[in-house]
């Protein structure tokens, strides 16, 4: 394929060569070669040269003007007028030369006239062809497929009409007139496509009219000049005996006329159309600004900008309020914050303090006085609520200096803007909420990790007993607690505890409990004393309606004894290997933090049992016995006892695993809505 720039070069070369050849031929003709028919130039050769010239000018502009498709209409027309100006200037210069030389001289040296004539032909062809293709761009603006086909047909027909130049036809014979008629009709039909006019603003319309008039004047001038030449002298190449040129000129003239008329008629409605276009553009801007994820302030500014332009308001302010009605964002134009405050107070006094759900148009009456004192020059306002799904997000108020400055049309436009803004604000809120939630989640995850680090994982405390644990919190963090301490080689302390309530507050108290227990353990206390001290310490940090339950076990593997005390915690389940019996260790014991005085020791007791190899203990929290099935029935103490009896032969690890499975199966879900913990201990 030949590249575009190469094609353009070829077209230009062919143009110049064919034009020069045509000039030479005509000069020869003029100098009397015609008298020698043998040397005469045949009609078809002259036709060929002319056609080459015309057709290649045509192709040249087809490509070069076609490239300017995206330029503005006014630029296109200006370019055209520049060409017109240049060509006309050259032509006028030649006239001036003729005037200087004098008519007589020219008559004697007719070859000079022939040269001028040919230059003029070149100039007009250049100008008309460029005009033709500029018109093409205008006509095909927002084209349909049908229109495009129609246009190509027109182009081909026009080119085809060049074929006539090969023959010495009767200039105004039937073929000539027929073809000219058809082409003119085509041009006429095409000339009704004037969509581009609608996209000119007021100023551009005037420019357009002026430029098109210039184009018409230039072409008329050329026609007149050529006509002059043709009338004066018989020319071997008569440019008027040419359907192509005539049809092109007619088409250009018709379209210019139509354009001027349509632009003129469109002038009065331009401002309305312009405003609508601006509204649309501003809408687009706002939507884009939303899609691009612009900052909140940017979106609000676009909103104010858009509505001010759409309503031609002189001042405006935008208030975005949060859920509690506090002003979150405030943006103002040509009005101070104190002035907006005064207007708001005035409106509130007029309308009561209810929130607007529909646009409100109002005149600010002079007699109410506040406008003067606040130096407010505005006489009318339009205030529109920013709503999304009936939720009030703020107000947009526009002001004008004249009375009754706003109409329903304005209110509707601004409402649409406001609706869009409502969506935007809702989105901002959602995003910021999501971010906040994300932060909370992150914080909770950290809390979870911290809490997990408070609970021991090592169960290998003694070769005298096996130990296994399962613990689960219904939320990220919970109030269940267990701990093991190696007191001496043969002594181990085991604690299980449960803070009333769930979640974060329970988790904090659980951490406090760990702190208290850890410091008390150093004191080497008996279990009841231990719990008494714990009650003292914890009473100071628990809320009035909060308590902690706990059981404390001190296992001595040397004497095979278990000392323990219970502070309101779920009774421990015990398996006696010798008796082959499972039972709850019953004794009195009050929860921690309930009685916040020394009387607490009255409500607690220390127990001691001797264990034997094969005995086992199950420590657990209330989440296990209170686990509910879908029927609302609790798992309960009976089932737990039965479970222990049934599975007591299992190794410790397996036992807790089976217990958890059993509870989950009982509830019919894996996520129980309480914290639950089990510590199983089996003596070897």
Residues that bind other proteins (CB under 8 A): 500-501, 544-547, 549, 567-571, 588-591, 594-596, 603, 622, 634
Write the burial class of residue 285 (CB in 10 Å: 0-12 exposed, 13-18 middle, 19+ buried). middle
Closest separation between CB of residue 341 and other proteins, Å?
41
Which residue in 46, 54, 58, 49 sits closest to 167, CA to CA? 46
Residue 405 or 591 with smaller CB distance to other proteins: 591
Residues 382, 367: Cα–Cα separation, whole Å: 19
Closest separation between CB of residue 594 and other proteins, Å?
5
Closest separation between CB of residue 586 and other proteins, Å?
10
| 79 contact partners, CB below 8 Å, separation of at least 6 | 68, 71, 134
Q: Which residues pair with 327 in a beta bridge?
A: 321
3-class secondary structure, 494:
strand
Closest separation between CB of residue 622 and other proteins, Å?
8
CA distances from 534 to 424, 452, 480, 548, 678 (A): 55, 22, 16, 10, 22
Query: DSSP string spanning 543-571?
Result: -TT--EEEEEEEEETTTTEEEEEEEBPPP
Residues 89, 83: Cα–Cα separation, whole Å: 10
Residue 57 or 594 with smaller CB distance to other proteins: 594
Are 457 and 482 contacting, i.e. CB atoms less than 8 angstroms apart? no
Which residue in 124, 131, 126 sits closest to 226, CA to CA? 124
Residues present in the chain in total: 684
Closest separation between CB of residue 566 and other proteins, Å?
9
Residue 52 or 619 with smaller CB distance to other proteins: 619
Residue 346 or 547 with smaller CB distance to other proteins: 547
Residue 397 or 551 with smaller CB distance to other proteins: 551
CA distances from 593 to 516, 542, 544 (A): 13, 7, 8
Q: How many CA atoms lie within 13 A of 486 on its CB side?
A: 11
| 351 contact partners, CB below 8 Å, separation of at least 6 | 360
* Tokens coding 101: 């030389």
Residue 320 or 678 with smaller CB distance to other proteins: 678
Closest separation between CB of residue 569 and other proteins, Å?
8
Closest separation between CB of residue 544 and other proteins, Å?
4
Q: Which residues pair with 616 in a beta bridge?
A: 575, 682
* Tokens coding 386: 């920013």
CA distances from 658 to 181, 247, 630, 651 (A): 101, 99, 20, 11
Longest dimension (CA), the chain: 151
Residue 366 or 588 with smaller CB distance to other proteins: 588
Residue 345 or 598 with smaller CB distance to other proteins: 598
Closest separation between CB of residue 472 and other proteins, Å?
17
Closest separation between CB of residue 498 and other proteins, Å?
8
Residues 117, 107: Cα–Cα separation, whole Å: 14
Which residue in 606, 484, 514, 498 sits closest to 550, CA to CA? 498
Residues 64, 520: Cα–Cα separation, whole Å: 96
Q: How many CA atoms lie within 13 A of 622 on its CB side?
A: 14
Which residue in 289, 327, 310 sits closest to 382, CA to CA? 310
Residue 205 or 509 with smaller CB distance to other proteins: 509
Residue 26 or 500 with smaller CB distance to other proteins: 500
Residue 567 or 679 with smaller CB distance to other proteins: 567
Closest separation between CB of residue 591 and other proteins, Å?
5
Phi, psi angles (nearest 5°) of residue 191: -70, -10
Residues 193, 30: Cα–Cα separation, whole Å: 45
Residue 254 or 506 with smaller CB distance to other proteins: 506
For the stretch 158-182, what's the b/e string if a residue is b when 16 or more beta carbons lie within 10 angstroms of its beta carbon?
beebbebbbeebeeeeeebeebbee
Residue 398 or 565 with smaller CB distance to other proteins: 565
Closest separation between CB of residue 590 and other proteins, Å?
3
Closest separation between CB of residue 614 and other proteins, Å?
28
Residue 400 or 569 with smaller CB distance to other proteins: 569
* Tokens coding 238: 């008569």
Write the burial class of residue 634 (CB in 10 Å: 0-12 exposed, 13-18 middle, 19+ buried). middle
Closest separation between CB of residue 542 and other proteins, Å?
10
Closest separation between CB of residue 546 and other proteins, Å?
6
């Amino acid at each position: 394929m030949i590249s575009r720039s190469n094609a353009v070069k070829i077209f230009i070369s062919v143009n110049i060569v064919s034009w020069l050849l045509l000039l030479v031929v005509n000069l020869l003709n003029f100098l009397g070669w015609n008298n020698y028919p043998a040397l005469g130039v045949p009609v078809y050769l002259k036709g060929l040269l002319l056609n080459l010239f015309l057709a290649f000018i045509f192709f040249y502009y087809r490509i070069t003007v076609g490239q300017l498709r995206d330029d503005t209409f006014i630029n296109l027309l200006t370019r055209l007028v520049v060409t017109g100006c240049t060509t006309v200037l050259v032509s006028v210069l030649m006239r001036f030369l003729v005037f200087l030389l004098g008519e007589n001289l020219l008559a004697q040296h007719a070859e000079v006239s022939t040269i001028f004539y040919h230059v003029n032909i070149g100039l007009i062809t250049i100008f008309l062809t460029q005009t033709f293709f500029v018109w093409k761009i205008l006509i095909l603006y927002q084209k349909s497929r049908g229109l495009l086909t129609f246009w190509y047909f027109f182009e081909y027909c026009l080119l085809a009409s060049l074929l006539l130049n090969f023959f010495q036809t009767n200039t105004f014979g039937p073929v000539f007139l027929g073809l000219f008629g058809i082409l003119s009709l085509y041009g006429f039909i095409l000339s009704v496509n004037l969509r581009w006019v609608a996209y000119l603003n007021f100023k551009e319309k005037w420019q357009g009219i002026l430029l098109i008039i210039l184009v018409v004047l230039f072409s008329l001038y050329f026609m007149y000049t050529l006509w002059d030449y043709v009338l004066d002298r018989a020319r071997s190449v008569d440019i008027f005996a040419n359907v192509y040129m005539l049809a092109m000129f007619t088409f250009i003239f018709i379209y210019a006329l139509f354009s001027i008329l349509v632009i003129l008629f469109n002038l009065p409605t331009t401002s309305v159309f312009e405003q609508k276009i601006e509204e649309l553009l501003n809408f687009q801007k706002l939507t884009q600004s939303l899609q691009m994820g612009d900052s909140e302030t940017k979106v609000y500014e676009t909103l104010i900008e858009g509505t001010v332009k759409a309503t031609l308001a002189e001042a405006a302010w935008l208030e975005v309020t949060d859920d509690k009605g506090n002003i979150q964002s405030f943006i103002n134009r040509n009005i101070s914050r104190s002035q907006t405050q005064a207007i708001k107070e005035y409106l509130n006094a007029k309308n009561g303090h209810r929130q607007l759900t529909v646009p409100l148009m109002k005149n600010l009456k002079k007699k109410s006085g506040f406008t003067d004192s606040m130096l407010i020059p505005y006489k009318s306002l339009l205030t529109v609520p920013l709503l999304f799904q009936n939720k009030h997000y703020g107000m947009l108020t526009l002001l004008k200096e004249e009375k009754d400055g706003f109409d329903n049309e304005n209110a509707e436009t601004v409402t649409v803007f406001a609706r869009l803004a409502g969506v935007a604000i809702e989105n901002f809120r959602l995003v910021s909420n999501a971010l906040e939630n994300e932060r909370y989640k992150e914080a909770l995850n950290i809390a979870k990790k911290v809490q997990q680090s408070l609970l021991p994982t090592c169960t290998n405390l003694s070769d005298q007993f096996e130990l296994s644990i399962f613990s689960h919190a219904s939320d990220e963090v919970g109030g269940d607690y267990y701990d093991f301490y190696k007191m001496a080689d043969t002594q181990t302390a085991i604690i299980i505890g449960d803070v009333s309530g769930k979640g974060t507050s329970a988790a904090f108290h659980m951490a406090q409990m760990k702190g208290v227990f850890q410091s008390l353990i150093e004191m080497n206390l008996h279990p009841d004393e231990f719990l008494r001290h714990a009650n003292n310490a914890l009473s100071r940090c628990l809320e009035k309606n909060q308590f902690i339950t706990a059981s404390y076990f001190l296992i001595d593997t040397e004497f095979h004894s278990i000392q323990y005390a219970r502070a309101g915690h779920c009774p421990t389940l015990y398996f006696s290997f010798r008796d082959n019996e499972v039972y709850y260790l019953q004794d009195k014991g009050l929860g921690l933090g309930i009685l916040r005085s020394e009387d607490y020791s009255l409500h607690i007791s220390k127990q001691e049992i001797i264990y034997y190899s094969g005995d086992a203990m199950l420590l657990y929290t209330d989440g296990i016995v209170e686990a509910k099935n879908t029927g609302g029935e609790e798992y309960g103490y009976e089932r737990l006892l039965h479970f222990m009896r049934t599975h007591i032969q299992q190794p410790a690890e397996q036992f807790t695993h089976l217990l958890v499975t059993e509870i989950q199966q009982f509830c019919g879900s894996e996520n129980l809505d309480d914290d639950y913990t089990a510590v199983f201990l089996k003596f070897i």
